[in-house]
């Protein structure tokens, strides 16, 4: 087998595609603003992508991305447009047609339909004199770029910048709508993403299962509660119901060495004051980070407001969710 430096080839591909991305960055202009505003101002319409070949594959992926950030979207294969798929396009929808050359024959059916029905058409295209460019209401002109293969014929760099401009549209719209991780989790409840976006509220111990004790009680009662609840911790409250401290197995072990009659001591004398806490919307992964990286603890109080505990998140709860 002829010896070939594959790593050198890979680096050359990355260099060529990096050049293409830089050219795309320079090409962003007022048309991009118009496209984002149009997407934001649509009235209950969907974003419909269409294309064929590599452009179609990019459109399909971008449609999925838009839907995942709360922008209703679907993809129509340009080859199917003339066979009934046009029926899925409604007046308030926005069409985003993708064609690097702008002369993809299969797109003409959709272009004619959109013009006839006065449906907004956004074109992602690289040639100003093309049919798609001339027919588009909003023209996203992407640069003509050198493909990454030696002969510059395999759609590589061109596909990359097509995806990139689509991602720019999605993220710009997402940021304006203030689509945050909570919104994202609602649309991604399953799989690894769903796990990574879980909040402590979903797994915390709450209600009567929380081990509470009044700060004026004796340690005998605190030890009894810790043994009953089997969490290795008891949350300490004052007469107003506010959390003033926490007692852990570790606190008890240390206090045993200090006091001959530990059970007779008041809870507030033994407790650790101002225990670490998180709010209910804290990501489970963040809570785990606090436990393991900062303080090496096994439990965190979950507070609804300063010093009022509504739950406990224990490291065992996190491990059961397989969130690491």
Question: What is the model's pLDDT at position 181?
Answer: 64
How distant, in Å, are the alpha carbons of 70, 235, 279, 315, 324 from that of 203? 25, 18, 13, 10, 14
Average pLDDT over residues 91-116: 90
Residue 129: the pLDDT is: 92
Residues 208 and 261 in one domain: yes
**Over the stretch 32-49, which tens digit does the pLDDT of each residue have?**
999 999 999 988 899 999
- Residue 95 belongs to domain with CATH number: 3.40.50.10490
pLDDT tens digit string along 264-312? 888 888 888 888 888 888 888 888 888 877 667 888 888 887 788 888 8
| Domain at 206, CATH number | 3.10.580.10
- Report yes or no on 191 lying in a domain: no
Looking at the domain assignment, is residue 187 inside a domain? Answer: no
- Which stretches within the chain are classed as H helix? 6-27, 30-41, 53-68, 108-117, 131-135, 157-176, 181-187, 191-196, 200-203, 219-229, 249-258, 267-270, 284-289, 315-320
Do 36 and 169 fall within a single domain? yes
User: Is residue 169 located within the same domain as residue 214?
Assistant: no
Residue 130 lies in a domain: yes
Are residues 109 and 213 part of one domain? no
Dump pLDDT digits (tens) for 178-219: 766 666 666 555 556 666 677 888 888 888 888 898 988 888
Say whether pLDDT at 109 is over 80: yes
pLDDT greater than 70 at residue 63: yes
| C-alpha to C-alpha distance for 160 and 75, rounded to whole angstroms | 18
pLDDT of residue 2: 75
Q: What is the Cα–Cα distance from 235 to 161, expressed in whole angstroms?
A: 55
- Could you tell me the pLDDT band of residue 322, with boundaries at 50, 70 and 90? low
Strand partners, 96: 49, 122
Say what the pTM is.
0.67
Question: Are residues 157 and 217 both part of a single domain?
Answer: no
Nearest alpha carbon to residue 73 among 191, 170, 197, 177: 170
Which residue, among 308, 224, 222, 231, has the nearest Cα to 266 in the 3D structure? 222
Domain of 65, in residue numbers: 6-179
Number of separate domains in the chain: 2
Q: Is residue 324 over pLDDT 60?
A: no
pLDDT of residue 8: 92
Question: Is the distance from CB of 281 to CB of 180 less than 8 angstroms?
Answer: no
Tens digits of residue pLDDT in 124-179: 999 999 999 999 999 999 999 999 998 889 999 999 999 999 999 999 998 887 76
Residue 124 near residue 56 (C-beta atoms within 8 A)? no
Question: In angstroms, rounded to a whole number, what is the distance separating the alpha carbons of residues 86 and 116?
Answer: 12
In terms of Cα–Cα distance, which of 156, 144, 42 is closest to 89? 42
Q: Are residues 169 and 267 in the same domain?
A: no
27 and 173 part of one domain: yes
């Amino acid at each position: 087998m002829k010896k070939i430096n594959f790593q050198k080839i890979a680096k050359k591909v990355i260099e060529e595609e990096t050049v293409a991305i830089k050219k795309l960055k320079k090409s962003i202009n007022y048309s991009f603003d118009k496209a984002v505003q149009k997407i934001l101002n649509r009235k209950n319409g969907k974003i419909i992508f269409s294309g064929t070949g590599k452009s179609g594959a990019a459109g399909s992926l971008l449609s999925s991305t838009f839907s995942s950030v709360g922008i209703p979207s679907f993809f129509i294969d340009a080859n199917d447009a003339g066979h009934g798929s046009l029926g899925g396009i409604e007046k308030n929808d926005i069409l985003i047609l993708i064609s690097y050359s702008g002369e993809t024959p299969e797109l003409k059916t959709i272009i004619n339909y959109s013009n006839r029905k006065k449906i907004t058409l956004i074109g992602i295209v690289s040639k100003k004199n093309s049919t798609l460019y001339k027919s588009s209401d909003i023209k996203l002109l992407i640069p003509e770029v050198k493909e990454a293969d030696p002969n510059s014929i395999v759609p590589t760099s061109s596909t990359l910048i097509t995806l990139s401009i689509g991602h720019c549209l999605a993220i710009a719209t997402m940021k304006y709508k203030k689509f945050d991780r909570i919104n994202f989790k609602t649309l991604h409840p399953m799989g690894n993403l769903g796990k990574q976006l879980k909040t402590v509220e979903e797994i915390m111990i709450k209600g009567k299962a929380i081990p509470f004790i009044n700060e004026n009680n004796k340690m005998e009662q605190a030890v009894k509660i810790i043994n009953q609840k089997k969490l290795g911790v008891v949350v300490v409250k004052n007469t107003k119901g506010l959390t003033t401290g926490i007692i852990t197995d570790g606190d008890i072990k240390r206090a045993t060495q200090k006091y001959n009659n530990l059970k007779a001591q008041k809870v507030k004398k033994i407790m650790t004051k101002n225990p670490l806490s998180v709010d209910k919307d804290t990501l489970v992964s963040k809570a785990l980070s606090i436990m393991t990286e900062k303080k090496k603890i096994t439990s965190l109080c979950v507070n609804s407001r300063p010093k009022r505990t509504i739950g406990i998140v224990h490291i065992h709860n996190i491990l059961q969710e397989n969130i690491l």
